[in-house]
């Protein structure tokens, strides 16, 4: 059995005298969607910020792709492939949609890929940064056709749902090994939320690994593979999303009634 791409062990995070996260353990398997659910103040966003090195753990360890990354600088984690689409979207005002997307591609490097010739010979070809950026941009536009339609538009004039798509697309431009999504449905209308979650599912089906913090429990349970429910900084319950979705009593007890 292959090792998880992410392992968080005994994670503790303090804000001054307040212990926000109290010994959390979680794992993320490659190619899966893992959701962290819970009410406001449960420690969800603090946990994901620790994984992305935005906040410093008090104790515990974070292992990514077999390497202990606890305490490493955020830019080093980005270079390793941990990329976050942050809560609040953080769209860069004054830039167009496509310029915002290209900002996400700053860390892309040239790569070599195998190509089979007509005679069956396999050779390596070098793909330059400019070509890689264009290829990844086309992939992002395939997920979000509306962004392609609005590529020359000022990003700040997009609707809330379109800005959320832009934030996720910008993160994808870095070709993440682990995509961190912090509250992707926050502040969006129900129909737009459904669209966002359908796209997240497609991103996972393309082979991406996603760790997602969300308050929308039911939409998350529909697309996630595994779920951790936090309560007051601790893992209250965990399990396969499909099993949780079928257990109405458990869902109501920990996540509230379905709306």
Name the residue among 50, 81, 58 with its Cα closest to residue 176: 81
How far apart are alpha carbons 37 and 35 in whole angstroms? 6
Instruction: Using a pLDDT cut of 70, give the percent of the chain over it.
Output: 86
1 domain-assigned: no
| 130, pLDDT greater than 90 | no
Residue 235 lies in a domain: yes
Total domains, the chain: 1
Greater confidence, 71 or 22?
A: 22
- Whether residue 85 is contained in a domain is answered as yes
In a domain, 124, yes or no: yes
Span 138-179, pLDDT tens digits: 999 999 999 999 999 999 999 989 999 999 999 999 999 999
Q: What is the CATH number of the domain that holds 214?
A: 3.40.50.300
DSSP state, residue 156 = G
Q: Average pLDDT for residues 70-82, to the nearest whole number?
A: 90
> Above 80 in pLDDT, residue 109?
no
Residue 124 confidence (pLDDT) above 60: no
The reported pTM is 0.87
Whether 141 is covered by a domain: the verdict is: yes
> Do residues 105 and 137 touch, judged by C-beta distance below 8 A?
yes
pLDDT in the model for residue 112:
55
Helix 160-172 vs helix 129-143: angle between axes, to the nearest 10 degrees? 140
**How many of the other CB atoms lie within 10 Å of CB of 60?**
17
Region 221-233: mean pLDDT is: 93
Alpha carbon 36 to its chain centroid, in Å, reads 11
Q: What does the mean pLDDT of the chain come to?
A: 87
Close Cβ partners of 162 (under 8 Å, ≥ 6 residues apart): 146, 147, 150
Centre a 10 Å sphere on the Cβ of residue 224 and count the other Cβ atoms it contains.
29
Range of the domain at 168: 6-255
- For residue 256, pLDDT beyond 80: no
């Amino acid at each position: 059995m292959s090792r998880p791409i992410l392992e968080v062990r005994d994670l503790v995070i303090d804000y001054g005298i307040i212990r926000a996260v109290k010994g959390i353990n979680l794992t993320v398997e490659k190619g899966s969607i893992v959701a962290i659910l819970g009410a406001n103040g449960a420690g969800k966003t603090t946990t994901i910020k620790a994984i992305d090195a935005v906040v410093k753990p008090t104790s515990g360890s974070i292992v990514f792709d077999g390497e202990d990354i606890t305490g490493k600088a955020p830019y080093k984690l980005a270079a390793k492939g941990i990329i976050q689409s942050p809560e609040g979207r953080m769209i860069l005002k004054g830039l167009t949609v496509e310029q915002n997307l290209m900002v996400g591609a700053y860390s892309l490097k040239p790569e070599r890929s195998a190509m089979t010739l007509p005679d069956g010979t396999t050779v390596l070809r070098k793909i330059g940064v400019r070509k890689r950026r264009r290829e990844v941009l086309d992939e992002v536009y395939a997920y979000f056709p509306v962004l392609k339609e609005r590529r020359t538009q000022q990003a700040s004039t997009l609707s809330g749902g379109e800005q959320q798509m832009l934030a996720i697309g910008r993160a994808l431009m870095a070709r993440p090994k682990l995509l961190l999504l912090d509250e992707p449905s926050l502040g969006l209308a129900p129909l737009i939320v459904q669209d966002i979650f359908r796209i997240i599912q497609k991103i996972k089906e393309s082979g991406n690994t996603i760790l997602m913090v969300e308050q929308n429990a039911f939409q998350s349970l529909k697309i996630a593979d595994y779920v951790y429910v936090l309560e007051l900084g601790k893992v209250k319950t965990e399990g396969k999303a499909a099993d949780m979705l079928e257990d109405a009593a458990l869902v109501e007890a920990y996540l509230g009634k379905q709306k």
